[in-house]
Chains A and B, each alone.
Chain A
Amino acid sequence: MWKLLKIELFKIFKRPRTYIAFGAIAAIVFLFQIALWFDGKTYIELILSNIDASFDFSDQFKTRLLNGYFVCFAVLNILLIQMPLLVALVAGDVIAGEANMGTLRLSLTKPIGRTQYMLGKFFASSIYTVSLLLFLAVLALFGSILLFGTNDLVVFRSTSIHQMSRDDIFWRYIAAFGYAAVALTTVASLAFLLSVFADNSIGPIIATMSIVIVFTILSEMNIPLYDRTIKPYLFTTHMVAWKGFFYVRSDEEGATIKGSIENLPAILKSLSVLIIYVFLFVGSAIWIFRKKDILS
């Protein structure tokens, strides 16, 4: 299995296409950081405009608010919606790409089972996904800390504001990145499943992108009919639960409780939903592939 995994990883990281995602992430993060470095005050003022009638915000407040943790949160807010598309670029290609090149049948002549073969491909896609996320973590978190320094993190939700002291943030990012790894693996497993049906990688990549886009739009819509019926079952609804690590509890007087998470059971529930989806997608892919007549 380990040898198979190494071969699959070699194949993935040998392709130039793999590095498009790393390049895109680096470009987005740098562009965002540069924009905030030069005009972060305007961005902060835009966010604060909703409450500046009640509070007095000095320049020092704005400078401190725009710290590395805040910038990283803003980057993740944007990028973790786009990243599934980058994950699909590789995961959608793992089986369909082989079929397209005509190497799938050849690969299966080797003395390995189809399940093992599929698991090797899936784990390789997952490692690619995690490495992409680690790359994002280094650039967005450590890069932003290097550029903007650290301070308390203020998270602006639609009806509340959560502030965490600077020594209560780093572990939240580790937890959030860990969660995001599972969320992106769900997308990778969907692309992996769709890849089984196609002989050309374009199809599964575009199909994955389309599903993610449609589901994300449905997840973000506030229509009561969808809220109760469709939304709880969409994996995209649960993919944003990494933010839950940045929602804190407070005592009766409104003071943040250090180390608290507002609704940990909700996050764990979302995590379970994603894990179920991963098993469902990968299990289905293996089951279909085992029964499939390989002609290419």
Chain B
Amino acid sequence: MSFRPMFVVFKRWRYGNYSFVILLSLFYWVNVKAQTAEEVVQKIKTKLDKINDYEAEGKMKTNVAFIKAPVATVKVFYKKPDKILILNESGISFIPRGAVNINISNVFVNMHAFDIIDGGRDNTGLRIIKLLPKDDTADIVLSTLYIDESSMLVKRSKTTTKENGTYELEMQYAKFLQYGLPDKIIFSFNTKDYKLPKGITLDYDDGSEKNADKVKNKKGTVEINYKNYIINKGIDNKIFNR
């Protein structure tokens, strides 16, 4: 073996070792620096805790299989710890039960009542954190949060209840990102069958209700596109007594 090939082998071995050492260090650093589920939850809670109240204006679209409703202009009022009101100032809006969950802060109100479980990551890289109530009699069975760790924002949540099925909340952030408040939310909920006897409604049969069975037991959604937020300006408690 000549001197030159021996040098190449040595060089390759040496660089290979360096790469290995660097990778090992990175792996160690990532593992040491990775935040625990509790830490992530705490950071988000701290961020959301800065908001004591808000009044938001937006457009609400109700999409339920058996309801045809116009797009409504609504105001959403929130006050710590868990007061929330969706108000159509002039018209009528069908507000689903469990709409209190449209505000993600509600999940973080009684954190001591939940066990925090790390659920790993989903295929889009969002951190999954599950909140399991310590109390067996609680209405909430499980809450799952999908968190973007780089911005510390909850992108999605799923809450399963004993009485009212599962609620899902999807949030899109843009203009109000720094407050952790979404620009758009899509709230999904379970709907029960709707049927009134024809003897009561005395319907005109125009042939449009032939596919009525298709609307049974579907999921409904409420979509709110927020136009603006007025944050921490104080809201009177009376407004929630409607």
Instruction: Please give the residue numbers on chain A whose beta carbons come within 8 Å of chain B beta carbons, in ascending order.
Output: 47, 50-51, 53-61, 64-65, 77, 81, 151-152, 154, 156-166, 168, 220, 222, 237, 240-244, 247-250, 253-256, 258, 262-263, 266-267, 270
Contact = CB atoms under 8 A, between A and B. Distances in A.
Interface in B191-234: 191-192, 194-209, 212, 215, 220, 223
Given A53-B97, A151-B91, A263-B206, A157 B196 contact: yes
A91 B94 CA distance: 46
Given A243-B203, A244-B204, A247-B208, A160 B66 contact: yes
Contact of B92 (A51, A64, A157): A64
15 contacts: A50-B195, A54-B97, A54-B192, A151-B91, A151-B92, A157-B209, A158-B196, A160-B194, A161-B68, A242-B204, A244-B206, A247-B206, A255-B61, A258-B70, A266-B207
A8 to B, nearest CB: 33
A178 to B, nearest CB: 15
Contacts of A151: 90-92
Interface of B: 61-71, 90-97, 99, 189-192, 194-209, 212, 215, 220, 223, 242
B187 to A, nearest CB: 13
A254 B199 contact: no
A249 B70 CA distance: 11
Contacts of B93: 61
Contact of B91 (A47, A152, A222): A152
A295 to B, nearest CB: 44
Contact of B194 (A56, A58, A161): A161
A267 B206 CA distance: 7
Contacts, number: 145
Contacts of B66: 159-161
At the interface, is chain B mostly helix, strand, loop or mixed? loop
Contacts of B99: 56
B199 A152 contact: no
A55 B96 contact: yes
Nearest to B215: A159
Contacts of A220: 198-199, 202
B209 A159 contact: yes
Contact of A54 (B68, B191, B209): B191
Contacts of A254: 61-65, 67-69
B192 A154 contact: no
Nearest to B87: A60
Nearest to B92: A152
A241 B67 CA distance: 21
A59 B206 CA distance: 33
Contacts of A267: 206
Contacts of B91: 64, 151-152, 165-166
A160 B209 contact: yes
A158 B68 contact: no
